[in-house]
Amino acid sequence: MAVSSPGEHRPQMPSAQRTPASFKAASDGSSREVNAERSVQKAEVVCRSCTKALSLCARVCPWCECAPSFSLSGNFNLKGALRVLHDGRHGGGDACNLVLLGHNMDRDQRVVVKAARLDEDPEEVATMKEEIQIQRQLAHDNTVPLLYAAETPSEVLLVMPFAAGGDLHAAMGPRGMLSEFQAVRLSGQLLEGLRYLHEDLYILHGDVKPRNIFLVPAGSGLVVQLGDFGLARECPRKAPFLCRFTGLQGSHGYMAPEILAEQDYGRQVDMFALGVIIFTLIAGYEPFYPPSNVRAPLEFDPPSWEPLSKESAAFVTDSLRVEAEERLTSSAARNHAWLQREDPTESVSQPGHVQLKFHRAADVQQALAETTRT
């Protein structure tokens, strides 16, 4: 997948583009209980009016000009208008990499449908299939679950829950900052997700950044979920746990020194990206300029850092170590002194702080359970 610049990676299309459609999909209950056993199903897209088979990428039947009905085997019903969130078509043709918004009527749940054409871009299709194989293993509150995966005669489809809070990039805006208190809570949740990926599954995410951090409203706060596993890789389960370098992959500004040096790399690349995110959110400026200058010493400008705790500076310093083996691990970071800070006075609004309220990592499961019951 191509490397993209911050703020321009995988742009979203305007929500004004709408395509009415209805579809059915198979399900046997909670995604958190069945992901490990789910395989890619065969499916077809048919016109609800004339029943002719067609591609979901067409979005309008060329025979009767009606919106198509998306159908998988089973009795899990998704109906209503599909809104185009992203359209990767080129030159106005039918080839596409679509991201659509649908609605699960049975559970009153909005979902996101990603589609890649089988005959258009072999690399994109391979990436989607790898993403499915990674995501179908996941069963953690701080990772986006896979609901369905299907292959039609013309495309590969991936279905996930829709995050009503959007992503962290959109929520923060161009110059938004977080209070240190909320940054602690955000980090705590992200580290739970990363520890699960790294320690339980030996998976590195490979593209940790605000656009891939999704916000799920749950009760009085937000649950954070890591998503978009298109660059995720399974690491070898024996030392030195490194994946072979096959080219620059990730997003500019978040890539670790070992990737930019074209070296083999492991799970620590995710911790470096997390360090960049937290540094930027609490200080209001990026740790490296230009973004590729990742071996330069960190600069802690007094006006930005004097109001913050010394533990915050220690956390980002330890996360942004040039040498991967000296960097904080996701497991060790959960016990860092900075993550133990729970001073409510720090949540008081200050100029430039975006008003987001995150749950403590320990409260996430209960918050989601209560939201499900209501």
- Is 225 within the bounds of a domain? yes
Looking at the fold, whether 118 and 257 belong to one and the same domain comes out as no
CB-based contacts of 253: which residues, under 8 Å, 6+ apart?
Answer: 5, 6, 209, 276, 286, 288, 291
Looking at the fold, whether 214 and 69 belong to one and the same domain comes out as no
* CATH number for the domain that contains residue 103: 3.30.200.20
State the DSSP string of 291-351: TT-TTSPP---HHHHTTS-HHHHHHHHHHT-SSGGGSPPHHHHTT-GGGG---GGGGS--T
Q: Measured between alpha carbons, how far is 198 from 240 in angstroms, rounded to an integer? A: 13
- Is 4 within the bounds of a domain? no
Tell me what pLDDT residue 35 has.
41
- Is 255 within the bounds of a domain? yes
Looking at the fold, whether 182 and 121 belong to one and the same domain comes out as no
Nearest to 212 by CA among 268, 283, 146, 273: 273
Looking at the fold, whether 77 and 123 belong to one and the same domain comes out as yes
Looking at the fold, whether 97 and 140 belong to one and the same domain comes out as yes
- Is 102 within the bounds of a domain? yes
Where does a domain end: 161, 178, 203?
161
Looking at the fold, whether 144 and 230 belong to one and the same domain comes out as no
Looking at the fold, whether 178 and 147 belong to one and the same domain comes out as no
Looking at the fold, whether 255 and 331 belong to one and the same domain comes out as yes
User: Which tokens is 283 given?
Assistant: 């200080």
- Is 8 within the bounds of a domain? no
- Is 229 within the bounds of a domain? yes
* Cβ proximity of 273 and 256 under 8 Å: yes
* CATH number for the domain that contains residue 172: 1.10.510.10
* Cβ proximity of 315 and 338 under 8 Å: yes
Looking at the fold, whether 78 and 60 belong to one and the same domain comes out as yes
Q: Is 130 exposed, middle or buried (0-12, 13-18, 19+ CB in 10 A)?
A: middle
Looking at the fold, whether 321 and 212 belong to one and the same domain comes out as yes
Residues with pLDDT less than 50, the chain: 1-38, 73-76, 80-81, 90-95, 344-345
218-230 pLDDT, tens digit per residue, is 999 999 999 999 9
Where does a domain end: 139, 161, 183?
161
Q: Measured between alpha carbons, how far is 123 from 320 in angstroms, rounded to an integer? A: 31
Specify the amino acid at residue 306.
Answer: E
- Is 1 within the bounds of a domain? no
Looking at the fold, whether 238 and 324 belong to one and the same domain comes out as yes
Phi, psi of 50 (to 5 degrees): -105, -5
Query: What's this model's pTM, rounded to 2 decimal places?
Result: 0.83
- Is 209 within the bounds of a domain? yes
Structural domain including 223 reads 168-373
Where does a domain end: 128, 161, 194?
161
Q: How many domains does the chain have?
A: 2
Looking at the fold, whether 208 and 238 belong to one and the same domain comes out as yes
